[in-house]
């Protein structure tokens, strides 16, 4: 059975079950249809629709049906379909913290990559496997998979997935302290998102890049880049991105102790967060803003405001479970307040909590807490505790310093290389411009020469044109004269013809008289016949004159006729000339002193000589010459 027939059969089965089982859900209908067919192609179609619905509602039932789909696709040797559908099963395992199963499935399916016909089939599996490796902190392997996936996606023109692979690869490179790699990945991802018109993800990638700058000591640069992103998000009315970017600016200004700018950013943040009231993040954003208000008030010595913010903060975070990131921020806010009021009893446990927090990237806050705590221990003569904290901080600071120093060196080296490259490009550009100028000069010279030649050519053409035009005018004038001459000759011919016809009639009378002479009773004398013959001689002279006039009037016509038909006899040409001046057959017969039958035969022979078909009139052909 052909694929088309199978699809038609599939459609009929669906229609049947949707009509019969109107009360059933779409999923139930698909399950029922699946159980009634043994055709593998139709089963694959049904499983495709069924798994789509189950994945859409995040049902646990999706697992067995996804596995069934993949097994059937493998049987049908539809390896690309198998790989494509496996993404949903792998993602299900990842969401349910079954990363080991997810990775094994990725490895298993990648064993079929030689059977894939699409680059995206392998790329999607690598993208999923990279996520499982990233979760296990196998960062180098994760980066390799992300890089390979992005290459394959770009090769297969799946740009959006290529950007995703670069974005996630940037996060893995950041955690692996591969600073320059992370920068390049975020920059490429952002550029692709921009090209695709996906402004939201372009800004998200840019935001990650600014955080990377800030965490590696390039705080001013992070703010500068962030302001550019804020303008873009403002134009797009992307309030979610605006809130995120403004929040990042708050922490950046705090690092630089730029308290006025920090306060302005907090005020803007409070305005923006109200646009996200329906967001699940709203509560987190509220606590974040309140905490930094507390920090700002404490750092600027505003005790009354700080006390109010602290009370509100304690009320909002009491008994609530918050993330380590926000927990660190809240502890920093509390520490700033108790430092302000010089309450070491309350301050010490907060600093101890800060120092012991793990799995957070707020190392700066932790090291500051350890330093302050060591100073307090030292003041209390608890030197051993103070020493341990200083040793821990020394290692961390050395690590941070070395990492930042290395990253800074790499960054500035990259910037230097980029600047050098820019200088080279500028030099090349200057050289290109010089060559362009020389080429333009040569082109201008050439154009001037061409213009001169064209001018001369136009003048020559114009001269010949006007001279030919004058000749045409002269020729037209000559034609008018010729036409007038022809008209005059035609009039003369017509007059002679009229006279000739009369003389022909007199010849007929002579013939009649000669016949009558034989009969003495008719009263015809020889003297009268002689008089008529003298008149006939005059007629012959006039006939010759007529023929000469006809030849003169039809000179151009006769010339052309002889050129086209050189085989024509003098008689043929004469008949054509008589036809040309418009004489009828009878008039031609009279003028040539012959019978109508003779003229008819002459015309017939003439038509054959001129190779004219029966449909073409001899008179029309002659008149058109």
Q: What is the pLDDT of residues 136-195, one digit of tens each?
A: 889 999 999 999 999 999 999 999 999 999 999 999 999 888 889 999 999 999 999 999
Q: CB count, 10 Å around CB of 594?
A: 13
pLDDT band at 98 (very low <50, low <70, confident <90, very high): very high
Q: What per-residue confidence (pLDDT) applies to 315? A: 87
What does the DSSP 8-state code read for residue 559?
H
Q: Are 134 and 172 contacting, i.e. CB atoms less than 8 angstroms apart?
A: yes
Q: What is the CA radius of gyration of the chain?
A: 55
Supply the pLDDT for residue 540: 58
> What is the per-residue pLDDT across 496-532, written as a single tens digit (0 to 9) for each?
555 555 555 656 665 565 555 545 445 555 455 555 5
Choice between 512 and 111, residue whose per-residue pLDDT is larger: 111
pLDDT value, residue 613: 86
CA distance 625 to 621: 7
| 574 and 547 Cβ atoms separated by less than 8 Å | yes
Q: Is the pLDDT of residue 450 over 90?
A: no
Cβ-Cβ contacts under 8 Å for 204 (sequence gap 6 or more): 167, 241
Confidence band of 412 (pLDDT split at 50, 70, 90): very low
Q: Would you tell me how many other CB atoms lie within 10 Å of the CB of residue 184?
A: 16
What is residue 193's predicted lDDT score, i.e. its pLDDT? 94
- Residue 503 and residue 535 in contact, taking contact as beta carbons nearer than 8 Å: yes
The 3-class SS string of 533-585 reads: HHHHHHHHHHHHHHHHHHHHHCHHHHHHHHHHCCCCCHHHHHHHHHHHCCCCH
What's the confidence (pLDDT) of residue 592?
76
Q: How far apart are CA 390 and CA 614, in angstroms?
A: 126
Q: Is the pLDDT of residue 389 over 90?
A: no
Per the CB < 8 A criterion, the answer to whether 625 and 557 are in contact is yes
Nearest Cα neighbor of 67 from 45, 89, 100, 50 is 89
pLDDT per position as a tens digit, 232-282: 999 999 999 999 999 999 999 999 999 999 999 999 999 998 888 777 778
More confident residue, 545 or 139: 139
Tell me which residue of 199, 219, 225, 208 sits closest to 173, measured CA to CA.
208
CA nearest 128: which of 159, 156, 93, 152? 93
Which token pair is 136?
């296990």
Q: Give me the chain's average pLDDT, please.
A: 80
* pLDDT value for 470: 73
| Nearest-angstrom CA–CA distance, 230 and 100 | 40
How many other C-beta atoms can be found within 10 angstroms of the C-beta atom of residue 247? 21
Average pLDDT over residues 461-475: 71
Provide the terminal-to-terminal Cα distance of the chain, rounded to the nearest Å: 75
Looking at residue 2, its pLDDT comes to: 40
Angstrom distance (rounded) from CA 87 to CA 172: 21
Q: What is the value of pTM for the model shown?
A: 0.59
Which ranges in 236-323 belong to alpha helices (H)? 239-255, 259-273, 282-299, 303-317
**Contact assessment for residue 104 and residue 111, using Cβ atoms and an 8 Å cutoff:** no
């Amino acid at each position: 059975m052909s694929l088309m027939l199978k699809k038609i059969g599939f459609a009929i089965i669906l229609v049947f079950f949707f009509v019969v089982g109107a009360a059933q859900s779409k999923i139930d209908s698909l399950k029922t249809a699946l159980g009634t067919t043994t055709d593998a192609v139709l089963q694959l179609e049904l499983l495709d629709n069924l798994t789509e619905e189950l994945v859409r509602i995040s049902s646990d039932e999706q697992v067995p049906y996804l596995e069934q789909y993949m097994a059937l696709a493998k049987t049908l040797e539809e390896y690309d379909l198998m790989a494509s559908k496996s993404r949903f099963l792998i993602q299900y395992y990842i969401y349910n913290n079954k990363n080991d199963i997810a990775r094994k499935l990725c490895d298993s399916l990648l064993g079929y990559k030689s059977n894939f016909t699409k680059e995206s089939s392998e790329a999607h599996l690598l993208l999923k496997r990279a996520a499982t490796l990233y979760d296990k902190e196998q960062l180098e392997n994760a980066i390799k998979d992300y890089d390979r996936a992005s290459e394959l996606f770009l090769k297969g023109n799946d740009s959006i997935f290529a950007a995703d692979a670069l974005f996630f690869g940037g996060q893995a490179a950041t955690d692996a302290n591969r600073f320059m790699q992370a920068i390049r990945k975020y920059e490429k991802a952002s550029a692709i998102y921009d090209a695709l018109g996906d402004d939201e993800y372009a800004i998200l990638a840019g935001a990650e890049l600014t955080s990377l700058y800030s965490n590696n000591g390039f705080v001013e640069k992070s703010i500068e880049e962030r302001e550019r992103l804020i303008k873009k998000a403002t134009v797009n009315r992307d309030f979610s991105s605006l809130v995120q970017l403004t929040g990042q600016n708050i922490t950046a200004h705090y690092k630089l102790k730029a308290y006025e700018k920090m306060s302005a950013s907090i005020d803007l943040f409070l305005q923006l967060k109200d646009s996200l009231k329906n967001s699940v993040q709203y509560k987190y954003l509220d606590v974040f803003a309140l905490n930094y208000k507390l920090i700002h008030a404490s750092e600027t010595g505003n005790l009354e405001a700080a006390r109010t913010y602290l009370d509100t903060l304690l009320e909002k975070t009491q008994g609530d479970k918050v993330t380590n990131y926000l927990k660190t921020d809240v502890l920093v806010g509390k520490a700033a307040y108790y430092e302000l009021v010089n309450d070491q009893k309350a301050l010490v446990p907060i600093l101890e909590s800060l120092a012991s927090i793990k799995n957070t990237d707020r190392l700066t806050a932790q090291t500051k807490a350890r330093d302050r705590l060591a100073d307090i221990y030292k003041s209390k003569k608890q030197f051993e505790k103070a020493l341990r904290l200083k040793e821990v901080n020394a290692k961390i600071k050395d690590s941070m310093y070395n990492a930042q120093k290395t990253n800074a060196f790499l960054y500035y080296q990259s910037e230097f290389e980029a600047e050098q490259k820019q200088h080279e490009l500028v030099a090349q550009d200057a050289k290109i411009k010089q060559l362009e100028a020389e080429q333009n000069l040569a082109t201008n010279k050439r154009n001037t020469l061409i213009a001169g030649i064209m001018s001369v050519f136009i003048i020559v053409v114009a001269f010949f044109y006007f001279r030919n035009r004058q000749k045409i005018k002269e020729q037209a004038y000559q034609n008018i004269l010729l036409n007038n001459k022809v008209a005059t000759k035609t009039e003369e011919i017509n007059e002679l013809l009229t006279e000739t016809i009369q003389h022909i009639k007199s010849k007929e009378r002579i013939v009649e008289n000669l016949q009558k002479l034989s009969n003495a009773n008719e009263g015809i004398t020889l003297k009268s016949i002689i008089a008529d013959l003298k008149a006939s001689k005059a007629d012959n002279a006039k006939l010759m004159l007529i023929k000469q006039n006809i030849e003169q009037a039809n000179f151009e016509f006769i010339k052309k006729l002889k050129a086209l038909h050189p085989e024509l006899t003098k008689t043929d040409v004469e008949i054509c000339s008589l036809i040309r001046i418009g004489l009828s057959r009878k008039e031609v017969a009279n003028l040539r002193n012959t019978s109508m039958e003779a003229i008819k035969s002459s015309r017939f022979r003439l038509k054959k000589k001129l190779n004219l078909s029966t449909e073409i009139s001899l008179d029309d052909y002659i008149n058109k010459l």
